[in-house]
Structure 1
Amino acid sequence: MEMQQGTEIVLGDLPKGITLASEAMGNKTWNVLGHTYLAKVESASSFAWLSLDPTGTGVPPHVHPTQDEHIYVMEGVYTLYLDGEWTTAGPGDTVRMPKGLPHAYYNKGETPGKSLFWVSPAGRLSQLFDQLHNLDDPEEVVRRSALHDVDFLPPGAVPGA
């Protein structure tokens, strides 16, 4: 059940149904700094999106202080920063990033990446994606992210990032 509260939509329990492979839940699709995100599940307890990651794209080191985040890699190989260490994950691998863990991911390979990401609880990440859609100013991305419980580390804080 959805309830309108001011300008935010508050979702109740997870809505039943199927989000088809070729579709986004609620037709929510975002372009965030070269990545295409398609909403797959959205409720108060969790938020999942399909991420299409062209070669050369990535998300710099950041922290979700209130959310656990996961990545299920479907295609491509991701270079990951996980709390001080660099590693890779490929098709079939699941990446676990507990809340508070500094992390980053990049597609440095020669083929596009495709992964299912999800966070729990959902927090305000969907609303953040609404604000970041087609925004091409990295400083503004960092500023708006901080207002939605995603804190980017300062440039140079992570060697190799």
Structure 2
Amino acid sequence: MGEGKVRDTETAAVVVQAQDAEYVPLPHGGGFTLLMDGGPLAVNRLALGPGAAGARPHVHSSAAELFHVLSGTVEFRLGGTVEEVGPGGLVLVPPGLPHAFGATTDGPAELLVVMNSSAERFEYFRALGRIQHGLQPFTDLLPLQDQYDVHFVDHA
């Protein structure tokens, strides 16, 4: 299945072995583990260094996004509220709700991130890796907001 690429999920199970998942390193010591893309769900595991931002404020017009905190503590900005969520906690962000998140400064964090999106999103995460390493400008993502259903906002 390589890169976690989903084909016929209506009639077959999807299995992604750890060694088959692509890893996109981030400069703060974390990174994306890209698990599944282009099917009924988009799934990645995100490791964040202490105090590292996971995402700047954005909104999804049609996709819900689920975060399961695997370790550490993550601060979520959800509309006008801020919630700290620790290991085992879960956050479900409905379409249309501005949100942002990042690891708290007291240590690293890991999350499982699941979206009900058929859009292929792996290239978006690869671009984020390049942007965070200074290899590509953030403005390159702006024309692709509709394609990835990630619409950046000034605040969340």
- In which range does the TM-score fall when normalised by the shorter chain? 0.7 to 0.9
User: Hey, what does 2:49 align to over in structure 1?
Assistant: 54
SS class of match (1:133) = helix
User: Hey, what does 1:39 align to over in structure 2?
Assistant: 34
CA separation of 1:63 and 1:17: change in aligned 2, threshold 3 A: closer
User: Normalising by the residue count of structure 1, what TM-score does the alignment of the two structures yield?
Assistant: 0.76
Shift of 1:56: 1.8
Q: How many residues align?
A: 147
Q: How far apart, CA to CA, are the structure 2 residues paired with 1:138 and 1:69?
A: 25
8 Å CA contact 1:30, 1:134 repeated in 2: no
Identity in percent: 21
State how 1:127-146 maps to structure 2 within 5 Å: 127-135=123-131, 136=134, 137=136, 139-140=138-139, 142-143=141-142, 145-146=144-145
Higher strand share: 1
Shift of 1:36: 0.6
User: Normalising by the residue count of structure 2, what TM-score does the alignment of the two structures yield?
Assistant: 0.78
Q: Specify every segment of 5 or more residues in structure 2 that has no aligned partner in the other structure, as ranges.
A: none
Matched, 1:29 2:28: no
Matched, 1:81 2:80: no
SS class of match (1:11) = coil
8 Å CA contact 2:73, 2:87 repeated in 1: yes
Over the aligned positions, Cα root-mean-square deviation in angstroms equals: 2.8
Q: How far apart, CA to CA, are the structure 2 residues paired with 1:110 and 1:145?
A: 34
CA separation of 1:31 and 1:145: change in aligned 2, threshold 3 A: farther
